[in-house]
Structure 1
Amino acid sequence: MERHTGLIPRNFVLNHGVHFRIVLRKLSFGSDYKSDFFFLTKSSIDWSAVFIEIEKPQSKFFRDKSNELHSDFQKAIHQIKTWQSWLSDSGNAAGFLSSISDIRVPRQMANHPTDFKFILVHGRRSEIENNDQRKQLIKSYQSENIKIISFDSLIEGIPLNYPLNIAVRKNEFLDIFGDTVHDGSIFSAIDPSKLRVSSAVQKRLEEGSKSPQHLVECNGEYVDAWILAAQKVRIHN
């Protein structure tokens, strides 16, 4: 999935798309929690913070020849509900949002509301598609903030999904992987000294963006943010 980011689900994406086209891998929060993937998305007035948990394709929804929930699904949905419960505490939510404040920009939207959303990718559709009782039971675990999808849905979404960059938080740095950054505005919105990229991306930055969208003010003049960033970004391994 990290090599084929079209597989990453886009449920809950708002009208401005996946923020910076960046998806964070293995994002830790709280003392015990870690999501497989995470992204921010925003509209003009609010944010959604989207946590993605991906189980194995062979994970079961139900026990064999039964409409009783399988322990695979029970454990997975319990994890999602535990995350949701932890983030429902205002102190925990504020602490988490503070931990991602460097990418939750522009600053003028820092105090805009953020909804926490959760996507569980679990099992195969064939297990439930021809059984109305099973479909309704799984649907009962969904809400406006929780979406449950099968691996089949990921494959169907590929033609509609634009590419993303996978990134990892490492201490104060954000490591962005890939030899192309799909949203160059990140280099003018975030302190580039906190970004680590590939050598290919740094070389591309040295050429400049040649776009007025990426101009920033420096010493009373407007300069290309990419050229400035090329001098400050670091190279990851």
Structure 2
Amino acid sequence: MGGRVVVENDWRTVVAWLRQLCAGPTPEQRTVAKALAVQLGARTPVPVAAALLRAQLRLPLSLPAPRPIGDAELDYLQNLAGEVGLRIPGIDAINDRDTLDAWIMVARARQSIAHLRRLKPEVGDVVVTVDRQTTAHRHRQLASLSRTGRLNFRGGRGGRTWPQFVTRVVKPASSEYPEVMRLVAEELAASDKHPELVSDSDLRRLAPWKVERTAGMAARVTLRDAIMTAAEERPLQVVLERHPEMLAQVVSGNHGTWVRPQVQFGNHYMADFLIAARTSMGLRWTLVELESPTKRLTNASNGKASPTLRHAVDQIEDWRAWLTANLAVARSPREEGGLGLPGITADARGLIIIGRESVEDSGRGPRELLFTRNRIEVRTYDWLLKAVSESHPLGWGLLEQEVGWDDEDEPF
């Protein structure tokens, strides 16, 4: 019964093959049984007949000795046989694992037949199962059926299940099919273990936002002036859109860095910037939220995160929640209705730029807590200006290397 797995597109063909498996011995088995003087009943299932013939040939062919079986295995077979209405011989007639496994194969085949008839699955259907650990529904699109009765899914990575574990199937003609297909795409995206390994075509789609220069004097002076005069974040947004090299210079991207301004997540959220940086480890994204340079990091009264900082954190967490539910849309090309953010993940690192450097408003505690719990970095505009003033080549991430602020340094 081993060897190459044969797949079919029609569940009826699979049912017919499984019924044949559960029927009497094959002509070849009858011929061998007659030569060995082995009595095979007219309704002895094919796997059981094979086990009985192997038992007869064990000594002359020096086959391995039969493996003993335990009570739990016998109980499993009896319960499964009762569930599918299979008559099995007395327990004394099943005295080795080879015979036991053969009867289990027959019982599972009958089980598959019943559920294939219930589901009538066809290629293209969406198969709905329930995750046994989380009880959440899972959605996959059917690619083919194995002759064993197993359902094989599209999307690679060996996705498959048995029909008895399927709650229902959704047909392409169903009104809910577009929605469940969206769920299929999202769940496949979420299951990708290495989204950072993007393709060359993905990188070509990011070409308009690739940054290939470092920040010069004009950029630094413009940033400094905006920090000194701005009462809210919009002027800083404008400066950084005109000079994306300043943001590109703060993340590691020795194989390329891309800065996209004002990316809209759905109908409610707008990220100020997204930075994609490629290293030998792949493409990593950073979600950037700008706040006013005049706002505090902490409350003067208790040193805890200020309302503005908490609002910025909430913004990033809202973006992450949207990404969790819409990863496939986020990663899909823009020409296909997606956002064109290849390899982005729902837990992408966050970066909040807020306020000015100040001894009484260092925000050390909240910063460390946010980094540890939320993977969100909090930096000031003074830090940004000092970071882009460092003479590092593009590709050396100053956010990772951390530009220190000495006690004698004064905000300009």
Deviations 1:41-84 (A, max 9, x none): 22244211222111110111222343233211111111112212
**Distance of 2:272 and 2:322 partners within structure 1:** 17
Name the CA shift for 1:56/1:9 in 2 (closer, same or farther; >3 Å): farther
Deviations 1:15-37 (A, max 9, x none): 31314xxx222111222111111
1:37 and 2:312 are equivalent in the alignment: no
2:361 alignment partner in structure 1: 128
Selected match of 1:17 from 248, 253, 256 = 256
2:348 alignment partner in structure 1: 116
1:137 and 2:376 are equivalent in the alignment: no
Contact 2:285 2:344 in 1 (8 A): no
Deviation at 1:149, TM superposition (A): 0.7
Deviation at 1:103, TM superposition (A): 6.3
1:150-165 equivalences in 2 (<5 Å): 150-160=380-390
Contact 1:57 1:123 in 2 (8 A): yes
**Distance of 1:96 and 1:48 partners within structure 2:** 14
**Distance of 1:151 and 1:10 partners within structure 2:** 14
2:308 alignment partner in structure 1: 72
Higher helix share: 2
Amino acid at match of 2:330: F
2:378 alignment partner in structure 1: 148
Deviation at 1:9, TM superposition (A): 5.8
1:193 alignment partner in structure 2: none
1:98 and 2:332 are equivalent in the alignment: yes
- Structure 1 runs of 4+ off > 6 angstroms? 101-104
Name the CA shift for 1:54/1:162 in 2 (closer, same or farther; >3 Å): farther
Name the CA shift for 1:11/1:82 in 2 (closer, same or farther; >3 Å): farther
Q: Percent identity among equivalent residues?
A: 23
Name the CA shift for 1:27/1:113 in 2 (closer, same or farther; >3 Å): closer
Name the CA shift for 1:12/1:68 in 2 (closer, same or farther; >3 Å): same
Say which SS state the counterpart of residue 47 (structure 1) adopts.
Answer: strand
**Distance of 2:389 and 2:378 partners within structure 1:** 20
Say which SS state the counterpart of residue 84 (structure 1) adopts.
Answer: helix
Contact 2:294 2:355 in 1 (8 A): yes
**Distance of 1:48 and 1:140 partners within structure 2:** 22
**Distance of 1:141 and 1:80 partners within structure 2:** 12
Name the CA shift for 1:119/1:69 in 2 (closer, same or farther; >3 Å): closer
1:137-216 equivalences in 2 (<5 Å): 137-143=366-372, 145-160=375-390
Between Structure 1 and Structure 2, how many residues are aligned? 148
1:196 alignment partner in structure 2: none
Contact 2:292 2:354 in 1 (8 A): yes
Contact 2:290 2:354 in 1 (8 A): yes
Name the CA shift for 1:94/1:13 in 2 (closer, same or farther; >3 Å): farther
* TM-score (structure 2 length as normaliser): 0.32
Deviation at 1:11, TM superposition (A): 4.1
1:61 and 2:290 are equivalent in the alignment: no
Contact 1:38 1:51 in 2 (8 A): yes
Contact 1:119 1:147 in 2 (8 A): yes
Contact 1:6 1:162 in 2 (8 A): no
